[in-house]
Each structure stands twice: as C-alpha cells, then as structure tokens.
Amino acid sequence: MKNLFEIDEWKIVQNQYEPSKQLQAESIFSIGNGSFGQRANFEEHYSGPTLQGNYLGGIYYPDKTKVGWWKNGYPEYFAKVLNSCNWIGINLKINNEEIDIHQQKVISFHKTLDMKKGILTRNVTLELNNKQQVLMEFTRFCSMANTKLGIVRVNIKPLNFSGKLIAEIYLNGKVYNSDSNYDELFWNHVNSSCENFKGYVSTSTKKTLFHQSTAMECKIECDEKELEIEPKTREKDFFISNELQIEIKEQQTYTITKYVGISTNLNDTDTNVIKESIDIAKKAKAIGFHELLSRHINVWDEIWKKSDIKIVGDKEAQQGIRFNIFQLYQTYTGKNKKLNIGPKGFTGEKYGGATYWDTEAYCLPFYLKTAHSNVARQLLMYRYNQLDKAIENAKKLGFDDGAALYPMVTMNGEECHNEWEITFEEVHRNGAIAFAIYNYVEHTGDYEYVKDYGIYVLIGIAKFWSQRFNWSEDKEAYVMLGVTGPNEYENNVNNNWYTNYIARWCLSYTLDCLKELNLNLINPKEIDNWTKIIQNTYLPKMDNNSIFLQQDGFLDKEQLTVNDLKKEDRPINQNWSWDRILRSIFIKQADVLQGIYFFEDHFSEDEMRDNFEFYEPKTVHESSLSPCIHAILAAKLNKMDIAYELYLRTSRLDLDDYNQEANEGLHITSMAGTWLSVIEGFAGVRVKKQQLYINPKLPNEWKELKFNLVVNNNLLQIKINHNHFTVFNLGEEKITFSHKDKWYDVLAHKVTHITF
Amino acid sequence: MKNLFEIDEWKIVQNQYEPSKQLQAESIFSIGNGSFGQRANFEEHYSGPTLQGNYLGGIYYPDKTKVGWWKNGYPEYFAKVLNSCNWIGINLKINNEEIDIHQQKVISFHKTLDMKKGILTRNVTLELNNKQQVLMEFTRFCSMANTKLGIVRVNIKPLNFSGKLIAEIYLNGKVYNSDSNYDELFWNHVNSSCENFKGYVSTSTKKTLFHQSTAMECKIECDEKELEIEPKTREKDFFISNELQIEIKEQQTYTITKYVGISTNLNDTDTNVIKESIDIAKKAKAIGFHELLSRHINVWDEIWKKSDIKIVGDKEAQQGIRFNIFQLYQTYTGKNKKLNIGPKGFTGEKYGGATYWDTEAYCLPFYLKTAHSNVARQLLMYRYNQLDKAIENAKKLGFDDGAALYPMVTMNGEECHNEWEITFEEVHRNGAIAFAIYNYVEHTGDYEYVKDYGIYVLIGIAKFWSQRFNWSEDKEAYVMLGVTGPNEYENNVNNNWYTNYIARWCLSYTLDCLKELNLNLINPKEIDNWTKIIQNTYLPKMDNNSIFLQQDGFLDKEQLTVNDLKKEDRPINQNWSWDRILRSIFIKQADVLQGIYFFEDHFSEDEMRDNFEFYEPKTVHESSLSPCIHAILAAKLNKMDIAYELYLRTSRLDLDDYNQEANEGLHITSMAGTWLSVIEGFAGVRVKKQQLYINPKLPNEWKELKFNLVVNNNLLQIKINHNHFTVFNLGEEKITFSHKDKWYDVLAHKVTHITF
C-alpha cells in the first residue's frame, strides 16, 4: 500500500496540493472536539473537488425511509447526520482576483494536522496575475477546553507587491447534505444578524426541530496591531458576512481571526442558543487567540498523558496508532450523555445515525482502558436509558414480555436503519451490548451498576434470545433461523455460529448475574426455559475437526480463498453484485473469529488456530472492523507477520485508504479496534476480574512499546521491549497481574520489571 | 367470505352507495380495452375516498431507485405505471349546487359493469337543496373496436323541478400518481387547445419522453335533440374545459356525450399524437354514440364466443370466472407487440412495471387455449426481442458467455425492480419463460418458432443456470445457493427445490431441442458440462418419504399449520414483521407444488398427494398466484371440497376482497390462474403434443360446465356434467383426445359424446 501523505510520528502532513487527493485529505485532516467537528474544507473559496461538512453531535434529520417495497416493521425514518452552518468561511480577493487554490499557481503548500495539539494549519503561497505572490497561513482548531468554540485564523502576506485585499468573513447556514434527495434542505432559517465584526446565524432542523446558533466575532490586525476599518455588512436569511477592504503592503502580515461560538439545544430544549453562541464568541475574543490555543493544547496534553501509545522503531505504525487515538478523542469524550460514537464521527455523512454495535464491541474497551471508568459507564447508561425503546422495537417485531432488541442504528433509541436483513436480522448486536456489561464489570468490579441498571438490560436481551431461538425437531436442538451475523456478506442465514454462541452466553451470563446478586427478577419457569436452551443450543461445526461453521450450509459454497480473487475484483463490494457476494465464500469481517476473540477462554489454542487458519484466508476485510480482530488473534497465535500486516491495515486504513472510501469520511469506531490490536494483540494484555494478564509479542520492527492502561480506575504505565517489560502503577491501589502463569503485584507508585 | 357486491352471472352490480367500499369498487368496476384503461372513478366531482387512475399501456416513468443502501447491480430505476390525463371528467352544478354524491342525499344508486358488453353504467338519483331530485345516468366504455377511443355519456333529468344546469366537460392532464414522492409530477405539458365542444391536452412523461394526447368532442342534447348553446371555454396549461349553462326543465332528459381520442407514440415515436387524437374524437362524434357502442359490443361478442365458460348451478362461481376472463381481455388482447400484462392491468399503480413471470406461468396458457396461437406467440416474441437485455442483465451480475437472466419486472427488457432478494435472487422466472416455450410447442407443434427464435432464449437461460449452479464438495452435487423461490416468504435460501428442478429441466429441454432440431449451436464441452449438472443436481428431499423439501433447512422451522394462526395474524404480511414471516413455516404461494403442477408427468400420484398434504396446510395463499395451483392439484387428487374452496378463493379473490387489498387494484395476472383451475382442474384438460387429455372432476355444486378450447388453432367446444361429456370440434382438423386411457378422435365439425 502506498502512503497517501507524509509520515511523521505526531503529525499528518501534506506538502503538495493535489486535487485528486482533496476529498481524502478533507476527511483525514478533520478536526473535532467531541461536540462538533469539521472536515478539512478550505476556509476560502475553492472550486476543486470537495465535500463540505460541519457536523454537530446528536443533531440529525429523520429522512423518510425510502424503499421500493415497504415491509411491516420497517422504521419510520433513516437518521441523517447533518451538514450544519459553515463557520470557517473567509473568502479572499486580492486586487479583485478571487483566491482559489484550484485556479492559481501553487508555489508551495503545507498542510499539517498536529495531533499532539489538535491544530490544523495550512501554509500556501500562490502566484496571482502579474506574478504577484501571496503567502497565506491558516490555523484552525475546535477547542477541547470549551467545546462550543471554534477558531480560525489566517495570516496574509503579500510577498512581492502591494495592493488591495478584500476579505469576506462569513457564516452560511444554507448548507445541504450531499446525500439529500432532490437537493432538499434540512434546515429552516430562524434568525440572523450582522454587525461590524460580529454576527450570528441561527437555524433549526426540519422535523426534529433541533435549534443551533453559530455566532462569530472577528478581528483584523497588521503585524499584530489591530486595524481600524469599517466592514461592509451583508445579511441574507441564512448568510451573513463582514467584508473588509484593506490596502495591503508588501511583506507586511495581515491577520484575520474569527472566534466562533456554536450552541445547540440538544441537551436542554430551553437553551437560548442565540445568546449562548454570541456570549461564547464575545468572551473568546476578549480572552484572545493565544490564550485559547494554550488552553486547548492543555486538554490534549492531559489526554495524551493517559492514552498515548509510543512505538519505537516504526514510524508508520506510530503515526497510525496516534491518528486513531486522536480521532477517537476528537469524536467522543464521554462528557455528554446524549452523544455516542457515530461510525464516521465528524468526518462525513455516510451511514447516518450515531450508535452502532461498534460502540460496545470496539469503542467501549478503548475508553475503559484509557479513561476513567465513568466514560465507559456513560456509554452503558446510554443503552440503559434506551431500554424502553428497545423493548418497543422488539414488540414491533412480534416479541413480548419485555424482550428487548436494541436498534442496529440509532440516534435516540429508535431504530433508524432500513434494510430488513440488517434491521430485523442482524440481531447479534444485542450480544455485544451484554458483553460490554460483562467487560465493564471485569475491569471495574462495579457490581452496583449491574444491580441498579445492567441487569435490566441483560434480562431484556435474554428474553429476546429465548424467544428468537426455536426448537428444531429435525436437529433436536434450539436453532436460530433468519439472522445476519457480523459478516454482512451473508444475509438471512440459519444458525450463524457467532449469534447462537453469544445468545447462549447472554442467557447464561444473565442467570449468573441474577444468582450472584441474589435477585428474584425472573420466574422459575422462565429460568427453566433458558436453562433448557443453554443446554441444547445448536452450534454448527464441521465433522471430524474443530472448525465451527459460520452458518448452516457454509460448506456448500465454492471453497476458494482470497488468493483466488483477481485484482480487478477487489474490493468485491465495489465490483460484484450483491447476490454474487452472498453466495461466495468471502467473508467481509470477523464472524466466527469475532466469537473466538470475545470468548478466548472458552477455546483451546488449537481451536483458535484451526479456525483462524480456516477463516482468515477467506476474509476480504472489507469492513473496517475486521483486520483488528484478526490481528489480535494472529498475535496470540504467534503469527507475527500476519498480525503486523493486519495491524498496519487497521491502523492505516484511512491514512493509506485501503478500502478506497476515505473520501466519504473516516472509520472512527474501528479505530478503537486498532488500539485493541496493539494492547490485546502485541502487548497481550487482558483484564479479567480486575486482574491483568500480560503476554507480549512485539513485531520485529518494534523496538519498544509504551502505553498507559486504566484498570479499576488505576493508571498503569507499561513499557515493553523484546525481552523485558516494566509496569509502573500510577494509581492508588494494588494491581495484580500475571505473566507466563506467574503472578505479580504492583503496588501504587511502584515499578515492576520483568525479564523473559 | 362475505360478497362485496351483488351476484349476477353476467354483471357486477352495486345497488347502494357506500363510501367505505368506494376504493374497492373503483378497482372492481374498472374498464379497459387492452390499450388503455380506467378505474371506475366518478365523472363528476367527488369528495369521498378515491384513487384516481387512468393508465395508458406501456407508458411509464423511471423513478430513481430509492434504497437506503445501494448495492452493486441494482437497477437504475423502478418503472412506475402512470396515472395519465383524466378524460372522463364532467362536473355538474344544479342551481349552483355542486353535484357530489358524497355530500348530497342519495335516493337511489345502481352501478353495473356489464361484462358481456364491456359497459359501465351508473344511475343515481340525488336529492339537492329544497328537496329537488335529479336523476343522472352515466354510461362509459373504452372501445374494443377502436382502442384509441373512449366514450362517456350522461343523461340528466330533473325529476321535480326546473332550474339551471352548469356542466363543465373537461380534460385534465395535471394528474399525480398516489405513489409519487413529495407529490412529484411525472408529466410535462406539451400543448393544449380548447374550442367550442372540443379541445385537447397533450403531455409527455418526464425522463422517458412518452408523448400522449387526449382530445375530446362533445355534444349536448335535450330529449335527443341537439341543443345550440355557446359554451365557455377555459384553458390553463394542463387543463381545458367547456362550460355549458342550460336552463333545464322538469322531467326532460339532457344528454351530454363526450367522445375522446387518446393517442400515444409508444409504437412509433413519429406519431403525430395530437392530430391523431383529434381525428379520432372528431370521427367518433360523426359516427355517433349508438353505432360506436354496437361496434364495441360486437368485439366483446366475438371474444365471449371463444372464451366464455358457462357454469350451470353456481352463480357465484359463474360470476367469478366471467369476471376473470373479462378482466384479462380488457388488459391484453395480443394486438400490440410492445405491451404485456401488468399485474394490476389498468386498475391500479401498485407493483409498477408491465411484465412479470406471471405472464409465462399463468397468462400464456390462458391465451394459448382461448385465442389464436398468434397471441401466445406474440408473448413469446416479446421475450425473444428482449434477449439482448437479458444477457446484459446477467452480465451485470457477473455471468458471461451469453448467459441470460430475464428481469423480474420490466417495461422494455431492462430490470426495473429494486429489492436484491427479488431482482438478483428470484431467478426461477427464467424457468417459467423456458417452460412457456415448451407449453407453446406442445399446443401448437410450431417447431419453426423454436428453431428461429425460441432456441436462442433457451440457450441463454440454460447458460445462466449452468453458471448459477456450483459444485458442493460437501454434498457431492450441484447446488444453487442464495435464491428466492416462488414462495417469496423465504429469501436468499439455498437449494430451493423448485428452482433447482426447473433449472435442471431447462438444461435438459434445451439439449433435447438442440438434438431434435439438429442444431449445432453449443460446443461439446459445454454440453458435457450441462449433462454433468443434469446428472448431479441436488434436490432436497425428506428422508424416508416422498416429500420434496422447499429448501435446505426447511425442517428446522417450527412445524405449524395455518390452523395454528390466530385470526388477528391474518394476512401475516399485514401483521407480522418481515423477519418473523421469513423464519416461520408459512408459505405465501405454491412453491414445491408449483413444480409438481408444471411437471405433473414426472411424479406419481402418491408423490403428488404426499406433497400436497404436506404443503397445503402450511400455505397462507397471500399471493394471488397461489390458490389456483393448489385448486388444480386438489382436483386432480379428487379432493373436491378443497379444490372448490380454493377455486372460489381464486376466482372471487378481488370480487370478495380476500386479501384486503382490492382498493389498490385487481390481481389481473392471477385471473388466468382461475381459468386454469377450471379447465385443468375441474375439467381435467391437459394438452401434450397437441393431443388432449380429459379427466373431469366437477364440484357437486356444478350441474354443467361449458367452455371452448383452442388446440393447434382448432376450436373445440366442450360440455361436461357429472356423468357425461361432449366434445364438438369446430375447427378444420382432427383432434385426438384420451379419457380414462381410451383414445377418441373428433373430426372437424363432429361431436363426440362420452358417458362415464
């Protein structure tokens, strides 16, 4: 795979303007602060290829479900992530020539996303008419210190001429989604106003009536002295602007700073969003650019202190893992209980909705191990708060007595995805939600959570499974018909091994919790029924060996491997019709192996190896969620070459655009999987009952691996190289861990060295 | 089942105005002439529930496929049947009170669809303000003698007052489809004009650019003398009208006649549709109402002479079968090679597209046996002419070397349906098309057709099947994965017995034809491959008995029967979510039994009985195509009670609205199945190699059954009662038939009596 951009341990760097990479770059250089986020669109007018995108967390439009054929039980709507008011815009004209990188000659171009500091900068020198050259230095960040604040600054320096600059500093609320039908506008105009050096645009979403206001204050300086000029103000419903006309002199630097407050009523419908946005912008201007920047950097410093992974000896891997950690914390910080982690974060519109099983299966372990347990608890509470809607959802599909089916995609607990084979049948998501509760308790020992909240989620899920299984006279076992497993290249199959396995586990774990917590919430007849299912669950398996079959009939397929595919067939989802994909053997993402990964203890190393060797060659990894799981298993099986290759694929999936879709946005949720593949794979770290198991297997390329880990809210520092590792307990309590079957204690503030 | 309307052997009669039945009535009283057709909407203003619908054969709009998630290979568009220019409209005001049945007091109401003559009449007496009573007698027909002509006449008679009548005779081209998104208009205005007693509206479809013109000429008479008055003309883009103001006198009859010419450029894009429509209307007015009516009735007389079925002793059954025959000939006459038989005919918008496998599996045998063989040949040529597009369609899905997959739904040979599980996977349609060729040859002996055309269709289909099967190492047989069988309550299953069976048969029949016709069109290697598949096709079967399994895994389902369903669950497609339907055992329509019906000779009576008794109790018959097949098999198995019940269900499906959906339009294509269930079921008639087998089994209710049959273009008259039947050969040639293993000859113009 060719790298798209330059390699740097802490930065994403692009040193050349290439329109063909612009859409990918807009995604990859995206910035956000957990509350809102912005693709790396240019501030100034740009006539090249672009996907404009500024997204506000939790704000969506319920697009009417459009399908050729309505089926009973379909959700009312499909939740679209909305492109919101453009807050970065500053159009520039020099001597009446509109600045547009796509039109002028680019003398130099340097774009940098500084991941340590969370800052996007772009320095461009353009040659205008008459060989006039101008240098522009853009700086932008979405403040992590005040998550309703965004800042844009541009320095303009005429290098070899003097002349006239016109800068149009604007807010534009009339923005469209690229995926809207018939250019439908999803926003209504509410109010706007424009004065000298300030103004706001307030809009509200159609149907959902979310209200947002974006307010700006701006400033113009020359060589750091504020200029006193009178802007022309312009206002037209969704659009406001200040137009500045300045005589600029050769080699002097003109600086425009735009302080933007963005407020929404997501958490409190009574919020006076207009006032709040105005206040934020005003206060920000008073505090000033440098102070705001330093506060922002400080927050990132704190995050990195806990969550950085240092890889010595491998710059690509290092850049990859930091990119993933950076994007995750840009997307979700655990501060707002209404938010969750959308698959594209703030980097694109695609998929819609905010919450997928990705959250529980991939992201929760990441936050559990890199942040205070409150963050993971917040994610669990999000599902607990939506239990009623999950019960309602199951009811629509014919289940009763409190059975709960969590939605495949949601913004607020309602299902908002509209493919029957996914919405109705990809029910394994219920399993991941139960597993996340288990995982959380293993890390934190927080049984109170289970007693007060989690058990109700578990019971709803267990009831669903008990009703979804049916007895097969033919097999004399409980079977589960008509499901879609994690491998979405199979639809409506019978007895998906993974789904049957995790369903049985859910029943079992729920019974364990009820017993352990001594709770009488289920009647004995139902417990008997669950027990009967647990004892007689059908799990398809190949005769005479240890291969678990992905589903009934899997062996009827033409037995090929990925090596049999021609280059022009890849990715198959862009080149093959859906029926061909479905009946082929090729696997989109870990399915049986996802189960073996979750329930590692339940299987022997031989079983793990046999299944890995059977399924990995058939897996095309066309889901971003796939290579990380395979990487972890490969590392556990000491297949370091494969593990490393898969790790690179997962960590640099978007950076190197493996799946040819980075233009549409990044794969945010799978980035947590990358982190897991380092920690659980190469570092071999697992947590069971708040204890730690370490069994490192580093790739040859890596000299040293350093990272922090939160266990039971204790912070551990771990450093690993090829024959030695160190655990340093930064927390308040004792942590016990094992390595190669020996147990070690690390007391608080103590260091343990182990050589092997 | 309660009858919706009155029972009459030749008429559909409604003697009461009931708004709650209005939508159903609009469908059931629909009229058409194979070229265009019209729901039984009222001529005058009507504020009650209505679905306006006038449809022109072959005219469609390519609505962009709207699906949440695009899958490779999806068709570009979904073809919508279009509601076209309203040509029947005559609004009436009496003393400034607008006539509206939904608002005034209805003194009497009689609506009649005379199936013998093809005329819709409606006589209504209304009470207006001040107890004024008016009688209105509407007559309407779509001329079968000139299929571009429609006539509306209304007699208005003030019963107890004199006053002022205002009649607004109009054409309105600005009509919408009820299934359009966002009230999108599918028509552009082209031209219109309005003069005294005449005018036209010409419009064209968006995207497809079909051009239509509707022109009218009208006349007003009082007690049969033409009135000389000056109408007010009005014209506003899509709308033209003549407004007549007349002083009307008590007990005199005022007659408005509207002669309408409707022309399209479907067959020839150079047609001057405006001129043509104007000419037709003008000429019609000159010929006059009574002469036009009599020409129209003559055509129906000719049709009934050949195709009537007379059932003595059972009025419901008699009305049912005539309704079905009438609707079929209203929909398709075989005169236009661009047309086919849409599932709703001219009675509703639903489903879209014009051509389904229904044509070959159900309609073709009907036309083959009730009309000159040219009609059936026309239907076969339709597919032959679209072979290139079927090859292209298969190519999109990854098949090559001339493999052909006919579309599931089409207007012009391109696929225009957008559910992956149907479009890509309900591939058995290819089998029905091959079977229709076989059926045609059996009836007609027209091997020339096969040699010149049919063989190429067969080869394309055979190639598709040979590529769609794959070898299963596990089963050591050829399997077919990921299909949807005729029972659409299963999607994406493996080894649908019916599909595998008919696919194998297609390979076999194609090889037979190549051999018989001595054609060298396929290379020996390919022939070997086909032969290998034929010899090793996997056909799922239950162990130790003769049940063919609908698909792999069928026995894993909860083994229930329709008797286990609660009343409120029926129909399940309106009450259950799709996943629940899919994993249930319930069968929408004949699937294994469809195969046994097609290939009756291949199975023993025991096999037929065992499978019927296994599947019939599991079948909910929620497809209109289902009960007829079951009825035929039941009759063959001498299960006369079931056969009769299923027959009534099929023949009165829409008349009694069994599936609660007659409001959306009628089930036109399944009506051919009703005909088959009488002829092949109760009359026990089969044709093999142009010979006839008769083995009648009449229901007890029926005293006598009389019908005509076309075999090899010879017309036979057959009369059956319970111990006797008569065959009268009206044709030119000898026909040989067998009854109870004895062979009989019927010479032309001779009668044969058989008593048993």
Nearest-CA residue of chain B relative to A79? Answer: B68
DSSP string across B514-574 = HHHTT---S-HHHHHHHHHHHHTB---B-TTSSPBPSSTTGGGS----GGGS-GGG-SHHH
Q: What is the pLDDT of residue A68?
A: 54
Q: What is the pLDDT of residue B351?
A: 74
Report residue A638's pLDDT band, with 50, 70 and 90 as the boundaries.
very high
CB spacing of B72 vs A481 below 8 angstroms: no
Q: What is the pLDDT of residue A756?
A: 81
| Residue A264 confidence (pLDDT) above 80 | yes
Element spanning B121, H or E = strand B119-127
Nearest-CA residue of chain B relative to A351? Answer: B69
Is residue B314 within 8 A of residue B701, CB to CB? The reply is: yes
Over residues B404-431, the mean pLDDT reads 93
Can you read off the two tokens belonging to residue B291?
A: 């002469």
Q: Would you call B488 a catalytic residue per the annotation?
A: yes
Report residue B82's pLDDT band, with 50, 70 and 90 as the boundaries.
very high
**Mean pLDDT, rounded, of chain B:** 94
How far does A700 lie from chain B, in Å, by closest CA?
A: 40
Best to test chain A binding among B577, B584, B622, B660 (most A CBs inside 10 Å): B577
| Out of A66, A479, A576, closest to residue B398 by CB | A576
Q: What is the DSSP letter of A562?
A: G
Over residues B106-112, the mean pLDDT reads 98
| Residue A75 confidence (pLDDT) above 80 | no
How far does B24 lie from chain A, in Å, by closest CA?
A: 21
**Residue B24 phi, psi (nearest 5):** -60, -45
Residues of A in contact with B421 (CB under 8 A): 421, 491-492
Between these two residues, A482 and B416, which has the higher pLDDT value? A482
Domain-wise residue ranges, chain B: 11-305, 308-354+364-371+646-756
pTM: 0.92
Residues of B in contact with A481 (CB under 8 A): 553, 556-557, 582-583
How far does B667 lie from chain A, in Å, by closest CA?
A: 17
CA distance A176 to A161: 39
Q: What is the pLDDT of residue A237?
A: 80
Beta carbons within 8 Å of A203's beta carbon, 6+ residues apart: A84, A85, A173, A187, A188, A189, A190, A211, A212, A213, A238
| Out of A68, A72, A558, closest to residue B578 by CB | A72
CB spacing of A68 vs B419 below 8 angstroms: yes
Nearest-CA residue of chain A relative to B419? Answer: A68
CB spacing of B425 vs A557 below 8 angstroms: no
| Residue B606 confidence (pLDDT) above 70 | yes
Please tell me the CATH code under which domain B308-354+364-371+646-756 is placed: 2.60.420.10
The residue type of A556 is D
Residues of A in contact with B396 (CB under 8 A): 577
Tens-digit pLDDT profile for residues A345-370: 999 988 777 899 999 999 999 999 99
Q: Which of B574, B541, B551 is nearest to B486 (CA)?
A: B551
Is residue A319 within 8 A of residue A647, CB to CB? The reply is: no
Tens-digit pLDDT profile for residues A128-144: 988 999 999 999 999 99
My answer on whether omega of the bond before B571 falls inside 30° of 0, hence cis, is yes
Report residue B233's pLDDT band, with 50, 70 and 90 as the boundaries.
very high
Over residues A332-342, the mean pLDDT reads 92
Tens-digit pLDDT profile for residues B696-732: 999 999 999 999 999 989 999 999 998 899 999 999 9
| Residue B660 confidence (pLDDT) above 90 | no
Nearest-CA residue of chain A relative to B551? Answer: A553
Over residues B130-159, the mean pLDDT reads 97
CA distance A169 to A151: 13
Tens-digit pLDDT profile for residues B482-536: 999 999 999 999 999 999 999 999 999 999 999 999 999 999 999 999 999 999 9
Does domain B11-305 bear CATH number 3.90.25.10? no
| Out of B396, B491, B573, closest to residue A492 by CB | B491
Tens-digit pLDDT profile for residues A526-547: 999 999 999 999 999 999 999 9
> Please, which residues bridge with residue B242 across strands?
B169, B233
Distance linking the first and last C-alpha atoms of chain B: 35
ipTM score of complex: 0.89
Q: What is the pLDDT of residue B638?
A: 95
**Residue A735 phi, psi (nearest 5):** -120, 135
Residues of A in contact with B474 (CB under 8 A): 555-556
Q: Which of B27, B97, B3 is nearest to B662 (CA)?
A: B27
Query: Counting beta carbons within 10 angstroms of the beta carbon of residue B535, is it exposed (0 to 12), middle (13 to 18) or buried (19 or more)?
Result: exposed
Residues of B in contact with A493 (CB under 8 A): 492
Can you read off the two tokens belonging to residue B164?
A: 């002022």
Is residue B213 within 8 A of residue B202, CB to CB? The reply is: yes
Does domain A685-756 bear CATH number 3.40.50.1000? no
Q: What is the pLDDT of residue A658?
A: 87
| Residue A74 confidence (pLDDT) above 80 | no
| Cα B414 from chain centroid (whole Å) | 20
Is residue B96 within 8 A of residue B130, CB to CB? The reply is: no
Tens-digit pLDDT profile for residues A671-712: 999 999 999 999 999 999 989 999 999 999 999 999 999 999
